Structure 1
Amino acid sequence: MRDENLGLEGFYATPTGLVAARLLRERLRAFWPKLPGQSVLGLGYASPFLRLWRVEAARCVAVVPPHLPRWRWPRKAACRTAVAEDDALPFPDLSFDRILLVHGLETTENARRLLREAWRVLKDDGRLLVAAPNRLSFWAQLERTPFGHGQPYSPGQLERLLRRQMFSVERRGAALFVPPFRARLLLRSAEGWERVGPRVFPRFAGVTLLEAGKDMFAAIPAPAAAEAVVARPLRRRVAATAAATERV
């Protein structure tokens, strides 16, 4: 994961960052209102958002690369932090019911490996929720926000990337329709921007949200050998018919 993530804590301590975090948490909670008894994994910079479910979840684990600061959880929280690279997760297969990926896909060195690792540790009926910067938004154009670093994605690009890594996209959403400016009046009207944005300018949200499940059929190889066995007898019949015609 690249070093741009080192400024995430500083950004989310600013007025703009506090508003962005609040709006993003509201959208994430809309996707997953309750996760009682679930095992939840956070990848990227997901620790601040895992707080949404830390009380009801059976366990929350945030994977943090070695060069990033660790999140300090309350003592009684069923949440832990694991220090590891996001493309080599230290968990067995089928370990988690839910995986939240925030500020990870756009900054990873290998998006394919990251998603394959997520697919591996996700249970067969589990869900992956990805939040990634929208290439078309103002947020992706300004380097003073973490959304302006790394690789942004259009909604279509993000969906195709997930499908290539054997995920099936089931729900779509967006967040951060308010422009990323520091004006207090603009920040105070952020809730209104979030209500109007999906109807007026849906393509320009700062963050694209996609919920996906494992596409089990994509992992099954095509029965090419069976097709070849069926085809061979047909070629013999055609040859035999042609030979009989020549004799007549």
Structure 2
Amino acid sequence: MIRPDVIDLRNFYHSPLGQMVRRTIGRKIRLMWPDLKNFRVLGLGYATPYLNSFRSEAERVISFMPLQQGVIQWPREGGSLVSLVDERTLPLPDSSIDRIIWVHGLENTTDVDPIMQELWRVLTSTGKLLVVVPGRRGMWARTENTPFGYGHPYSDKQLNRLLRDNSFTPGDLQGALYMPPSKWRLNLRLGKAWENVGEKWWGHFSGVRLMEAEKQVYALTALPERKVRQRPVILPAARPVIAGREVRRTSNDG
């Protein structure tokens, strides 16, 4: 499956259209999670454009980027909070994370169940996952002009079933990006108007779907014996890497 690499993602979010996307989806994330005070937050995939607003209130905010995508320094100043990982074996202890934001990830992977099981493992008993994916009915999944045009888009029903099959209880659902995926100036200037009209008149046709899900915890009479497996060491993001090869850093890394 073809997926955008880390440089393409970085360049998109530095473009005028990408900045509009960041603000639009960021508002919806804040609507769903208005207060993360003293929480431990993990961003998976390419979630860094949406993590900065939580750094001042959360106990800890870190970002993991998958091997197939590559990693780039974040934040631009201070120590690195991002690492290159295998999503199927996250280098975190059990029940260590309160909230996970998964962006530009689910639609681009074929190993869905193993990754979902890892997310379940690292979440606390009251932990929540927020999945951001291209909507199957929206225009954004039909063009490769943006990162949302890659991979497998989801309908609400498909996303709901996937979460339930992996021991998550689906909760709040929001849509975003009702505007066309166009770089035209007029389109960008009307972005907020597009969102207001779209939410009112064609709510199921948004370009992106945001679904929150809570970890299900079941009472067990006996715990099965399981093998202890070693976790990989976190790789610090000293410089941008794409699928195992280094690339030259730019001053716009973030």
**Normalising to structure 1: TM-score of the pair?**
0.83
Secondary structure in structure 1 of the residue aligned to 2:131: strand
The aligned amino acid for 1:133 is: P
User: Structure 1 unaligned runs (5+)?
Assistant: 222-248
- Per the TM alignment, residue 75 of structure 1 is displaced from its structure 2 partner at its CA by 4.7
- Mapped partners of 1:172, 1:107: distance in 2: 21
Secondary structure in structure 2 of the residue aligned to 1:114: helix
> Is the contact between residue 5 and residue 146 of structure 1 (CA under 8 Å) also seen in structure 2?
no
User: Where do 1:87-236 residues align within 5 Å?
Assistant: 87-217=88-218
Higher helix share: 1
- Per the TM alignment, residue 3 of structure 1 is displaced from its structure 2 partner at its CA by 4.0
Determine whether 1:70 maps to 2:72: yes
- Per the TM alignment, residue 11 of structure 1 is displaced from its structure 2 partner at its CA by 1.4
User: Structure 2 unaligned runs (5+)?
Assistant: 222-254
- Mapped partners of 2:109, 2:55: distance in 1: 25
- State the Cα deviation string for residues 46-80 of structure 1 (Å, max 9, x = none): 11211120111111110012451323215568x71
The aligned amino acid for 2:48 is: S
- CA 1:2–1:60: 2 relative to 1, 3 Å: farther
Secondary structure in structure 2 of the residue aligned to 1:52: helix
- State the Cα deviation string for residues 197-239 of structure 1 (Å, max 9, x = none): 112111110110111101224x759xxxxxxxxxxxxxxxxxx
- The one of the two structures with greater contact order (alpha-carbon pairs below 8 A, sep at least 6) is 2
**Normalising to structure 2: TM-score of the pair?**
0.81
Tell me the equivalent position of 1:32.
Answer: 33
Comparing 136-145 with 58-67, greater Cα deviation is found at 58-67
- Per the TM alignment, residue 109 of structure 1 is displaced from its structure 2 partner at its CA by 2.9
Tell me the equivalent position of 1:224.
Answer: none
- Mapped partners of 1:137, 1:216: distance in 2: 34
- Per the TM alignment, residue 94 of structure 1 is displaced from its structure 2 partner at its CA by 0.2
User: Where do 1:15-26 residues align within 5 Å?
Assistant: 15-26=16-27
> Is the contact between residue 13 and residue 49 of structure 2 (CA under 8 Å) also seen in structure 1?
no
Give the number of equivalent residue pairs: 219
The aligned amino acid for 1:57 is: A
- CA 1:96–1:125: 2 relative to 1, 3 Å: same
- Mapped partners of 1:140, 1:112: distance in 2: 22
> Is the contact between residue 36 and residue 54 of structure 2 (CA under 8 Å) also seen in structure 1?
yes
- Mapped partners of 2:76, 2:105: distance in 1: 24
Pairwise CA RMSD: 1.8
- Mapped partners of 1:4, 1:75: distance in 2: 25
Secondary structure in structure 1 of the residue aligned to 2:14: coil
The aligned amino acid for 1:203 is: H
Computing the radius of gyration from Cα coordinates, the structure with the larger value is 1
- State the Cα deviation string for residues 25-44 of structure 1 (Å, max 9, x = none): 11111111121111001111
> Is the contact between residue 65 and residue 83 of structure 2 (CA under 8 Å) also seen in structure 1?
yes
The aligned amino acid for 2:193 is: G
- CA 1:220–1:177: 2 relative to 1, 3 Å: farther
Runs of at least 4 residues off by over 6 Å: none
